[in-house]
Amino acid sequence: MWTLVLNCGSSSVKVALLNPDSGAVALTALAERLGQGGAALRLDVGGEPRAVALAGGSYPEAFAALLRELDALGLRSDVSAVGHRVVHGGETFSAPALITDVVLDAIRACSALAPLHNPANIAGIEAARTAFPDAAQVAVFDTAFHQTMPEVAYRYAVPDAWYRQHGVRRYGFHGTSHAYVAQEAARMLDRPLAELNLVTAHLGNGCSVCAVQGGRSVDTSMGLTPLEGLVMGTRSGDVDPGLHDFIARQAGLNLDQVTAALNRESGLLGVSQLSNDLRELEAAAGRGHAGARLALDVFVYRLAKAVAGMAVALGHVDGLVFTGGIGENAVAVRAATLARLGILGAGVDDSANARAVRGVSGTISAPGRLTTLVVNTNEELMIARETARTLGA
């Protein structure tokens, strides 16, 4: 059985057709610039890239082009299930859900919490239901894994009515990735996940840490929105809540402008004044660019502080896991972070750390130090597995 995994954004759809048991990938595709000029479906079948122009650039058109490709490959009838990445499941969804009209309405009801993401996810689900009428459709939520957090971790110290009436609380994101790498870490350590206390650090363009106790999330750094917590590519992470009022008055900005600046002009980009891309910043810092150096230092300092914070949620830590584009590749960031985590007994093995790049996973801690792993995340595979599990249940 092949599962089609779809990640529908406002102007793009990421597609993977894979086998949830073996992990084999039959096809990956990216429909991009949807709703803009020059929309295209870029396909990769068995390492052979190809692009198909999408004249109108709508979701239905992208799916029609995908269907034609699946037909040509003789794969269409093999698609028995579609797994959708859905960003926000609010407090309604603590597990993946078979998509029905009732479930779709419930996802719609969470849109206020993720106004940029959920509507795109819903549009993708509707188009996919039309394009694949015979396939079961499952929603896999970014937030669901974190629904096991205790109230002490998810409540903010704000007026109670904000929580009761408007759902103001910590939800957390990247749940699929945190859950997957925790499972993988247990497998690599050859220990039952149920016995492990792990801190997982997903470091990509968005970044978050999670405290995973026995395979369940007990705290995480992202909150009501994916803006809270760590320094990210263009997102600020934590700031003083008084900042909005202050900078609005000082710089003459309205609320939308402040929010946009914190999401898109901050983080590594904001501090460095150069780039949101960590690789570029490392190269620039090597050439003596002071802004790049400072951005990297702030990133690492805040990451180490957040990891230590997750240790409080766990009581003791059996292992630390790095994943995401930065976590899987940035040797110097990992070393600098571990150097700041002496309080947890962390210590790096420099040669093991240097080897764990470009898809190589493994242990990077020195003997006797806090077990630290690099694990390659695979959100598509996890969504396919969760889809299969939901349909089997």
CB nearer to ligand ADP: give 211 or 326: 326
CA–CA separation, 131 and 109 (whole Å): 24
CB 234, min distance to ligand ADP, A: 10
Reduced to 3 states (helix: H, G, I; strand: E, B; else coil), residue 89 is coil
CB nearer to ligand ADP: give 14 or 191: 14
Asked whether the CA dihedral 175, 374, 182, 138 is positive or negative, the reply is: positive
The two tokens of residue 186 are: 């247990």
Residues forming contacts to ligand ADP in the complex (CB under 6 A) are 204-206, 233, 277-279, 324-326, 329-330
CB 233, min distance to ligand ADP, A: 6
Cα dist. 61→29, 31, 33, 95, 244 in Å?
14, 10, 12, 30, 41
CB nearer to ligand ADP: give 99 or 381: 381
To the query of whether residue 219 is one of the catalytic residues in this protein, the response is: no
DSSP of 365-383: BPTTSPPEEE----HHHHH
The two tokens of residue 293 are: 């150096």
CB 225, min distance to ligand ADP, A: 16
CA–CA separation, 206 and 237 (whole Å): 10
CB 390, min distance to ligand ADP, A: 24
Q: Pseudo-torsion of CA 133, 19, 214, 167, nearest 10°?
A: -30
The residue length of the chain stands at: 393
CB 154, min distance to ligand ADP, A: 24
Within 8 A by CB and 6+ apart from 48, the residues are: none
295 sits in which H/E element: helix 290-314
CB 380, min distance to ligand ADP, A: 11
CB nearer to ligand ADP: give 205 or 225: 205
Catalytic residue among 105, 134, 142, 350: 142
CB 276, min distance to ligand ADP, A: 7
The two tokens of residue 242 are: 């008084």
Q: Do the Cβ atoms of 43 and 29 come closer than 8 Å?
A: yes
Closest CB to ligand ADP: residue number: 325
Q: Do the Cβ atoms of 290 and 344 come closer than 8 Å?
A: no
Query: Which position has the token pair 């994916």?
Result: 226
Q: Which residues of 71-108 are buried (b: 16+ CB within 10 A; e: fewer)?
A: eeeebbeebbbbbbbbbbbbebbeebbebeeebbebbe
* Catalytic machinery residues: 142
